[in-house]
Amino acid sequence: MLGILASIIDGVLVGLVYGLAAMGLTLIWGVMDVINLTHGVMIVAGMFALFLLTTGLGLDPYVAMLPVLIGGFFVGVMLYWVAIHRMVGRPPLMSLLSTFSVNLVLIGIGTAVWGTALFNVDVSLPGFTMGRYTFPGAHILAAILAAVIATVLYLFLQYTRLGKSIRAVANNREAAELVGIPTTRVLAISVGLGVALAGVSGVLIATLFPFTVLSGDGYQLKGFVVTVLGGFGNPIGALMGGIALGLLEGAVTPFVPVSWTLVIEFVLFVLVLIAFPAGIFRSRRGAL
């Protein structure tokens, strides 16, 4: 009984981080119908930024989130102008290919500089013990931060002027333009936000697990599943989708080899898309 409770808690903790890792992807996807295939590599960029900031400047890992957030925003705006601006409104094939090619360039540079060796960042926080089970402190903190970030993002999208503009552009770009919203700037800001979120999730993931230049791929793939589970561009939906994924992983890992979990998740992806084209946790109309 305690074991089941513990594995549920573990699933929720991991799931919240998956949700955060998917949030930037789903935001960009929801706002401009562009699937950002650089998302995984941006998560990795966050991880390596943390590694450099903690080993080079001796920053505390959680303080390092701030420069990563700001840096990620500017990288995202640059990404928008380089690879996405000309693709908005064109067939999704083209933006898939353009972000994919940026991904190749960045992965290529990353592997040339760091190779594919494992890196890790040590974080020691007191854990939480429940009977025979201990939940590491870093895990709990990461999950809490993920929930906080999702809530802040949700409030930002709902109640601020810029957030409302983002939702308006997501809803109907031409109409938003007509009522005087600078759509191009809003799109650039959305990509900036999406990439900043990817970077921050990279920071948090790096405090939990060792990483390589290529470890973003797995999170990006999970991000696709989370997005279709949670609905497009919805931060709270992304958290819910992430938790569903975390619980699912906890439930299947005792029975199948680890390499199959991603396959099971992809089967889920296909089934959900066929059954619920708008996502399961889609909240009321106009969530984004």
Partner 1 sequence: MPSMVRRPFFWIITLAVLAFALAPVYGNDVSLRESLLLDALYITLASNLNLMLGYAGYVNFGSIVFFGLGGYICVWLVNSYKWTLVPSLAVAGVCVSGLALIFGLGILRLRGAFFALSTIGVIEAVQAFAENFTPWGGSSGIYLPASIFTPLGGPRQALWVIYFIMVGVMGASLYLSYAIKTSKFGLGLLAIGQNEDAAAILGVPTARYKAMVYSVSAFLPAIAGGLYFFKSAFIQPSDAFDLSLSTEALVVGMLGGQGTVTGVAIGAFLYEELRGYLLTSSTFANFQLVVSGALLLVIVLFFPGGLMGWIYSRFPRTQKVLE
The answer to whether residues 99 and 84 touch, using CB atoms and an 8 Å cutoff, is: yes
| Binds partner 1 (CB under 8 A): choice among 57, 66, 251, 270 | 270
**Of 261 and 283, CB closest to partner 1:** 261
Position 97 contacts partner 1 (CB under 8 A): yes
- Residues numbered 187 to 226 that lie near partner 1 (CB under 8 A) are 221, 224
Distance in angstroms (rounded) separating the CA atoms of residues 40 and 230 = 19
| Binds partner 1 (CB under 8 A): choice among 52, 57, 63, 109 | 109
Position 274 contacts partner 1 (CB under 8 A): yes
**Which helix (H) or strand (E) segment is 114 a member of?**
helix 92-114
CB of 219 to partner 1, least distance (A): 13
| Binds partner 1 (CB under 8 A): choice among 54, 98, 207, 215 | 98
From residue 27 to residue 66, the character string flagging contacts with partner 1 as x (rule: CB under 8 A) and all else as - is: --------x-------------------------------
124: left (phi > 0), else alpha (psi -120 to 50), else beta? beta
Position 116 contacts partner 1 (CB under 8 A): no
Distance in angstroms (rounded) separating the CA atoms of residues 14 and 195 = 21
Position 114 contacts partner 1 (CB under 8 A): no
Using CA atoms in the order 100, 103, 107, 110, what is the torsion angle rounded to 10 degrees?
170
Q: Which two tokens stand for residue 41?
A: 């590599």
Position 92 contacts partner 1 (CB under 8 A): yes
**Of 37 and 189, CB closest to partner 1:** 37
Nearest to 206 by CA among 277, 115, 139, 114: 139
Contacts of 244 (CB under 8 A, 6+ apart): 15, 229, 280
**Which helix (H) or strand (E) segment is 202 a member of?**
helix 183-206
From residue 138 to residue 177, the character string flagging contacts with partner 1 as x (rule: CB under 8 A) and all else as - is: ----------------------------------------
Position 4 contacts partner 1 (CB under 8 A): no
**Of 38 and 207, CB closest to partner 1:** 38
The answer to whether residues 71 and 50 touch, using CB atoms and an 8 Å cutoff, is: no
Burial zone of 42 (CB within 10 Å; 0-12 exposed, 13-18 middle, 19+ buried): buried
**Of 99 and 183, CB closest to partner 1:** 99
| Binds partner 1 (CB under 8 A): choice among 8, 69, 88, 96 | 96
Position 267 contacts partner 1 (CB under 8 A): yes
Distance in angstroms (rounded) separating the CA atoms of residues 265 and 102 = 26
Position 260 contacts partner 1 (CB under 8 A): yes
The answer to whether residues 77 and 193 touch, using CB atoms and an 8 Å cutoff, is: no
3-state secondary structure of 253: coil
| Binds partner 1 (CB under 8 A): choice among 25, 53, 102, 203 | 102
**Of 61 and 241, CB closest to partner 1:** 241
Return residues touching partner 1 (CB under 8 A): 35, 82-83, 86-87, 91-94, 96-98, 100-109, 111-112, 221, 224, 228, 257, 259-260, 262-263, 266-267, 269-270, 273-274
